Amino acid sequence: MIDRIILGDNQFFGINHMSEQKASALSEKFMDLRNILNVIDAAYDCGIRALMLNTNDRAKGICDYLRENSSRYSDFCLYPSMPYAHKYANSVAQKGIFTTIKETIISGNSFGDIIQLVTKGGSTLFEKDMIKVMQLLVDVEMKMFRGLQVKVIFLQNIVTDLLLGFCLKEIFMAFSDYVQSRYGIEAGFITMNMPRLLELLLESGMENPIVCSAINKSGYLMNPDIASYEAVLRKKSFRPIAMSIMASGAIVPEDAVRYVSAFPSIGSIVFGASSEHHLNETKQLIERYSGLKNNADRVCDS
């Protein structure tokens, strides 16, 4: 069961889709890991038990903290999203895609894995089996989560949407199969093109896929348009997770939560907050509107 409320992590890493100034201020605030951990502590104290975490370097420190405090965080679940594309962007620009992937795999895998890689053909492995390369990259990214509870492993939106444009449905299927077989965890997909991705996943035979996308009343980051999102949310069989519900601050929390709560199929909401006040406010709103929604459902059912 995916958590109803998941704390997002964009704010910790200086990501704000609306304003570079706000992003920079957040980045400054959360430069000190302690400030990130304080927010996670506050989230836990107000009853939030889930955190979406992109696999960047700062995430390692968060995972270390959760392991060190495993008794307190024993019921806390992580929802990793990978890869953190910006981590690789400069290396790709300077060294090229293959060198970057090779260096990542070699730096992140054990001696045995590397031997296996070399015996499988080294550089020609890329040509023979991109799926194997993807699996090795997943293993590298998953290392930081060892010993922690992970519920869903997400493919991050830059990669999801790039592959979507290529129509590489076999990679999506392979990602899903691999994380299930290797880690016993379901795969999820983050996208800025939810209706198009969903169509491809359902066509490929994926059942009830987990898709995380921006869902907000102003249609921000919802492509091709808000109407297509609303149509699939009402008609298609999948597990939607809503993010960017406040459109990076452009929508007031109550309006944001009310809009998302009107879609019964949305089982989970990811939201970012950087203060205890905002955490509590948003969590209470989600719970209040979830309750209203459930009451409304009951009225309809009766």
Partner 1 sequence: MIKAGFIGFGRMGITHFSILNSHPDVEIVAVCDQSRMMLNILKKYLSVATYADYHQMMESESMDCIIISTPSDSHSEIIRTAVENNMHVFCEKPFCLNTEDGKRIVENINHKSLVNQVGYVNRFNEVFEEVKKLLEQNLIGDIRYFTSEMHGATVLKDSKSGWRSNRETGGGCLYDFGSHCIDLVVYLLGPPDRISGTILQSVYSSEVEDMVSSNFIYDNGIRGSVFINWSDETYRKPANIITLFGTHGKIIADKHAVKIYLKESQPQQNLNKGWNTRYITDFSKSVRMYVRGNEFTRQLDHFVSCISGNTLNNTIGFNEALKTDIIIKNIIIDANPDQVKNADSDSVLLTDMQPKAKPMWRKILNGRGVSL
Among 38, 69, 149, 218, binds partner 1 (CB under 8 A): 218
Per CB under 8 A, does 120 bind partner 1? no
We find the least distance from the C-beta atom of residue 162 to partner 1, in angstroms, to be 5
Per CB under 8 A, does 102 bind partner 1? no
Q: Could you give the CA distance from residue 112 to residue 128 in angstroms, rounded to a whole number?
A: 20
If we measure between CA atoms, which residue out of 156, 169, 144 comes closest to residue 85?
156
DSSP the chain: ---SEEE--GGGGT--SS-HHHHHHHHHHTTSHHHHHHHHHHHHHTT--EEEEE-SHHHHHHHHHHHHTTTTTTT-EEEEEE--HHHHHHHHHHH-HHHHHHHHHHHHS-HHHHHHHHHTTGGGHHHH-HHHHHHHHHHHHHGGGTTSEE-EEEEPHHHHHHHHHHT-HHHHHHHHHHHHHHHS-EEEEEES-HHHHHHHHHHTT--S-EEEEE--TT-TT-SS-HHHHHHHHHHS-SEEEEE-TTGGGTS-HHHHHHHHHT-TT--EEEE--SSHHHHHHHHHHHHHHHHHHHHHHHHHH-
Q: Could you give the CA distance from residue 241 to residue 234 in angstroms, rounded to a whole number?
A: 14
Whether 264 and 234 have beta carbons less than 8 Å apart is answered as no
We find the least distance from the C-beta atom of residue 221 to partner 1, in angstroms, to be 7
We find the least distance from the C-beta atom of residue 18 to partner 1, in angstroms, to be 5
We find the least distance from the C-beta atom of residue 108 to partner 1, in angstroms, to be 20
Per CB under 8 A, does 196 bind partner 1? yes
Among 3, 6, 14, 76, binds partner 1 (CB under 8 A): 14
We find the least distance from the C-beta atom of residue 196 to partner 1, in angstroms, to be 7
Among 115, 118, 162, 296, binds partner 1 (CB under 8 A): 162
We find the least distance from the C-beta atom of residue 75 to partner 1, in angstroms, to be 32
Among 57, 64, 72, 93, binds partner 1 (CB under 8 A): 93
Per CB under 8 A, does 262 bind partner 1? no
Comparing CB distances to partner 1, the nearer of 31 and 292 is 31
Comparing CB distances to partner 1, the nearer of 37 and 158 is 158
Per CB under 8 A, does 296 bind partner 1? no
Per CB under 8 A, does 217 bind partner 1? no
Whether 9 and 272 have beta carbons less than 8 Å apart is answered as yes
Per CB under 8 A, does 192 bind partner 1? yes
Among 222, 242, 245, 273, binds partner 1 (CB under 8 A): 222
Per CB under 8 A, does 166 bind partner 1? yes
We find the least distance from the C-beta atom of residue 132 to partner 1, in angstroms, to be 13
Per CB under 8 A, does 182 bind partner 1? no
Per CB under 8 A, does 23 bind partner 1? yes
Q: Which amino acid is it at 152?
A: V
Per CB under 8 A, does 15 bind partner 1? yes
- Where on the chain is the footprint of partner 1 (CB under 8 A)? 13-21, 23-24, 27, 86, 89-90, 92-98, 123-124, 126-127, 130, 158, 161-168, 170, 192-193, 196, 218-226, 247-250
